[in-house]
Chains A and B, each alone.
Chain A
Amino acid sequence: MKRNHVLCGSASVLALLLAGATLVQNHALAQGGGAQAPRLDVDPLWPKPLGNHQILGSVTGVTVDAQNHIWVTHRGLDSLGGNEKGPTLTPPASQCCFAAPAVLEFDQPGNLIGHWGGPGQGYQWPQAPSGIAVDSKGNVWVAGAGVDPPPAGRGRGGPGGGRAEAPAAPVPGDAHVLKFSRTGQFLLQIGAPGKMEGPDSQTTLNRPTMVAYDAAANEIYVADGGNRRVVVFDADKGTYKRHWGAYGEKPGDAPSGPYDPAAPPPRQFRDVSCVKISRDNQVYVCDRRNDRIQVFQKDGKFVKEAIVSRTTLGDGAVWDVAFSSDPQQQFVFVADGHDKKVLILQRGTLQQVGSFGDGGRLPGRFYAVGSVSVDAQGNVYTGENLEGKRVQKWLRR
């Protein structure tokens, strides 16, 4: 398997040399029987540099809209280290960098064509935005998942590294999702920061991570991570419709303890880090640190589950999922941030048939790949959280 990779790598370099100007590497490889996994090559020069000394913070959401535009959310300034936000300090310490606006819209060539985000009238901008979704009416949904406690570790240069800063005043934890027009005009807020009434609440959320829109019913599905449930609201009025936990059961908020690959699958979600709806009306839910995907009907009836990379501990293997662009959506791409790759599953069987990427900071490598989305041509976009701070495009071959 390893040798195949190397061979394939050499072949690609050879092709690259022959082609002269092509800049691609890192193929996705079919790793076993069954359907042929799609092959994807990184495009190292996408998107175009933002300019104005603007950079991405930790990327928390990537999605593709009906116009094939790519939308990105990231954590901005609060995720930048002291020594990568010099001009924002008092006094200014350096020429670079500024955080790009929280919501970014790119066209297919990678030009930044829209950007907005931040506090405004009538709503509370999240402490840290999480997932982003653009519904079929062109409205943009942003989940507010807040921030984890700062990681322990070597201070130099990491988040909070560099010059010491005064600790920020406590901010009420994010517990809401927001709906905007595609130009950033506020439309609706569900939930409110700091207001968390548990997994049976019909009006509050707890660190939601992502939303998915169902055009048929005009409903919005919320991955309500802190409440370990999926909760559904009317997409215009924000009124409660229904909710469920793992296996379609009542969600609980008892502590789970650490994930144990040898233990039977827990009856509760540990995380709900994504929710996506397939064309055949199945609801896919990422249970990140349980390394599993659960699939439901739209009414919450449990259909099936798959454990993906069962032995992965730490931050877990199932951070986000996206479906391939073919009409049958034959494949599911799984952003496995802890193992630093995107896994390719056959959607019917949820068996792994390939993967792409590996750990590192070079093009085509990942650190904390946590977001994945697919455009109309089958190209894949990935977003990297933590210190990855990138969006990468993978070309469908």
Chain B
Amino acid sequence: MLEGTTAEIKPREALRINPAKTCQPIGAMYAALGIHGCMPHSHGSQGCCAYHRSHLTRHFKEPVVATTSSFTEGASVFGGLANLSQALSNIFTIYNPQIVAVHTTCLSEVIGDDIPMMIRKATEDGTIPKGKYVIHANTPSFVGSHVTGFANMTTAMVRYLAEKHGHRPFQLNLIPGFVDPADIRELKRIVDAMGVNAVVFPDTSGVLDLPQDGRYRMFPRGGVTIEDLNSAGDSCCTLALGHFTSHPAATELDEKCGVGCAFLELPIGMTETDRFIHALRNYGGVDVPADIGEERGRLLDAMSDMHQYFHRKRVAVAGDPDHVIALTQFLVDLDMRPAYVITGSPGNHFEQRVREILREQAPDAVVKQNSDLFALHQWIKHQPVDLIIGNTYCKYIARVENIPFVRFGFPVLDRMGHRYFPCVGYNGALRLMEKINDALLDHKDRECADEYFELVQ
């Protein structure tokens, strides 16, 4: 199906072919699911909501609930106030969530709906029951990407819910970013093992990785509670993982409640996990327990056992900016050579940060924000790579060019591992490394001539 892709690269201004991003609202919906008892609400046409739920369901293989304002032509002329009021009334009457998290769509943004005014009105006329909350984030689809939407909703949690009452010197905030429930579960395990008390938000573990117990619950037991979010303003500091997804909320928390923050990358791979553990140790005032030290030791052992297979392998990486930045660092740790490093999301920080990481090992790498998979394919046709790492959509390129492929990031629509196994922390790094190693060696075993087919590798 990619037979139309040529190596000849023409400048393209006006179109996007095979995107490496999607729109803001889906990120906001995902973030909102990380609050306990929360109903995400899409203020727009019902198609948006259906698409986001389907897409999230394909990635998580979990039921995803969200409501919609069900815009019609009337709403697009007269504004969506009536729709939102009726929606809030229905949601609280029937589904009875603790909190509703409203995000906008391109439609409601273009007609200029003023959501804070609508929430105020709903509060005044009693549509929002006592003790219940409605928060909102503006998530125009024509700005940024799904990553921006996630960051905006996470920031909205702080704006609406974080409060400053006192000081909790032994509590810190952890903003894990747009990662899978399995990753959040692993981060919480590490935090626990370190003996640190943390408010983790948003937290989709226990929401989108449920065991099968014969029940269907609209609001599962996971997610950060509103009480915990309230207390985030009292924490001693915030560890924010990822410039694009988490730093804005941490900054907001600093400005609003004076909680200082440490800006980290996602703890993917050796270097970034070291930094994360170091930050936990410093800010939490704790020692690194022996177990965590041993986890690191096992990762290091695996890296030394296998390092000859990674040396100078050319890699194409595509995905969301925070994921790609952290992964690029890990590839450098493994002595691999990132050749093309792209994200579909806009943001200059991406290119700066990745170039900085690649300055020594791969100064000639192509690094692009706001790019797409068509462009990536053209570069690969120009000069091939040994490995592609990215979301499921990269599989077309991997197939047509016969290049080993490791699935990583969002969305993964055709494999199951991401739903159960983390890619963060030392254990996550081990798993990523195993996948990279398997992909490279499986490819060699399949493609090499008989005389080079090895039993022992």
Question: Do these two chains interact?
Answer: no
Q: Chain A: residues with CB nearer than 8 A to chain B? A: none
Q: Chain B: residues with CB nearer than 8 A to chain A? A: none
